Amino acid sequence: MKVLVVGGGGREHTLVWKLKQSPRVTEVYCAPGNAGMAGEAVCVKIGAEDVDALLKFALDEGIGLTVVGPEAPLTLGIVDKFRAAGLRIFGASQKAAALEGSKVLAKEIMAKYNIPTAGYADFTDAAKAAAYIRENGAPCVVKADGLAAGKGVIVAMDEQAALDAVKLIMEDRAFGDSGNRLVVEEYLEGEEVSILAFTDGTAVIPMVSSQDHKRIFDNDEGPNTGGMGAYSPAPVYTKDLEPFVFDKILVPTIEGMRAEGRTYEGVIYAGLMITKDGPKVLEYNARFGDPETQAVLIRLETDLVDIIEAIIDKKLAGMDIKWHEESAVCVVMAAGGYPGSYSKGAVISGLDEAAAAGATVFHAGTAAKDGQIVTNGGRVLGVTALGKTIPEAISNVYKAVEKITWDGVQYRKDIGRKALKHLR
């Protein structure tokens, strides 16, 4: 069959790479894609949010399966439109994707269905939010209600930082209409873990665990980003936590969404904090995470097309999904200045050398220019490597990262370090 992957980042390159391995796939298209995907798929110049143009292309081209990467087209209802046209598509419906599209809705679902999470209050008025912060103090977490490309969450360690966050979101409109409402949340202490799961609306099958690194600098310092690296598995997520997360978080979320008339199919991502009181949900995403996908899907043994088809056909229950035992580490290489303003067009060198060193290089913000690969985004590459253990995977990935360079490149040197203390 012909497959269309919607999106143009590192997650989508990983999906293209994985789907292409299926013997059932004859051709892969990606829209809009990037320079790295161009070697493995046909890149189509249609934006990920141009749902009508994507639908026309899929119908004209006889696409047998569409896989949606980013959250924006999901919240715009791409799945509903494709299904209405009789096309097979993998992703959450518009009503289901609202679990990511609205932080307030997510908190309401968790409260109603007794899913462990941080205490919170939500506001449409900046003055009331500020008054609440002055009354309750800090640390706290301030979140724009809507989508903000992973940057709408501000961890405020003191009261002034929290008040500044309210101003940034609601008055300065840093995230546009996503800041019409905001959530002020209790600050949770612990270590984060990302649990992604496949679901057909009834059955739920978790994937292997991973851990993202949100801050731009080593030791979790500096502003939040879309994610600077990930590794899998996350040793903080022990075997004895798995049943709790399945029974108390994943299943009640899917059952709750179904009860709310928001039947959830596709991939659900639960960002968890492992606190002294057990796992609590920080956030939901309605799709594969980025860069978690790079570290997770490289470990997937089962044909991804078979899993997707089982979900679309509501036959996921009882499916035996197999994973490679090896550990994986992904290091994101970013443009200088990211997550603030950055320049584009720097020539990237060393990609072939990194691949020769054993890494799989997933492209995120790249473009082709005059026969060369150049930077074209904030997060540019996701260099990913396997190893028998996490320490070995860390060693392997950084050997490859050191081969790649461009003017202004930045990356964290400590991806996976948190895992080491658990392994000791």
> In this structure, is residue 334 part of a structural domain?
yes
Given a contact cutoff of 8 angstroms between Cβ atoms, the answer to whether 225 and 151 are in contact is: yes
Given a contact cutoff of 8 angstroms between Cβ atoms, the answer to whether 5 and 54 are in contact is: no
Residues 308 and 195 in one domain: yes
> In this structure, is residue 101 part of a structural domain?
no
Q: Quote the number of domains for the chain.
A: 4
> In this structure, is residue 282 part of a structural domain?
yes
Q: Specify the pLDDT at position 314.
A: 98
| Predicted confidence (pLDDT) at residue 151 exceeds the cutoff of 80 | no
> In this structure, is residue 110 part of a structural domain?
no
Per-residue pLDDT band at 361 (split at 50, 70, 90) = very high
Residues 307 and 384 in one domain: no
Neighbours of 83 (CB within 10 A): 14
Q: Which domain holds residue 13?
A: 2-91
pLDDT digits (tens, 9 = 90+) for 297-315: 999 999 999 999 999 999 9
Q: Could you tell me the CATH number of the domain that includes residue 161? A: 3.30.1490.20
> In this structure, is residue 18 part of a structural domain?
yes
From 206, 234, 190, select the one nearest 330 (Cα to Cα): 234
- The helices-and-strands tally (H runs, E runs) of the chain is 15, 22
Q: Could you tell me the CATH number of the domain that includes residue 346? A: 3.90.600.10
Q: Specify the pLDDT at position 223.
A: 87
How far is the CA of 7 from the CAs of 33, 122, 387, 390, 406, in angstroms? 6, 31, 29, 29, 24
pLDDT digits (tens, 9 = 90+) for 215-263: 999 999 998 898 999 999 999 999 999 999 999 999 999 999 999 999 9
Of 151-160, 162-171, 268-277, the one with minimum mean pLDDT is 151-160
Q: Could you tell me the CATH number of the domain that includes residue 58? A: 3.40.50.20
| Predicted confidence (pLDDT) at residue 214 exceeds the cutoff of 80 | yes
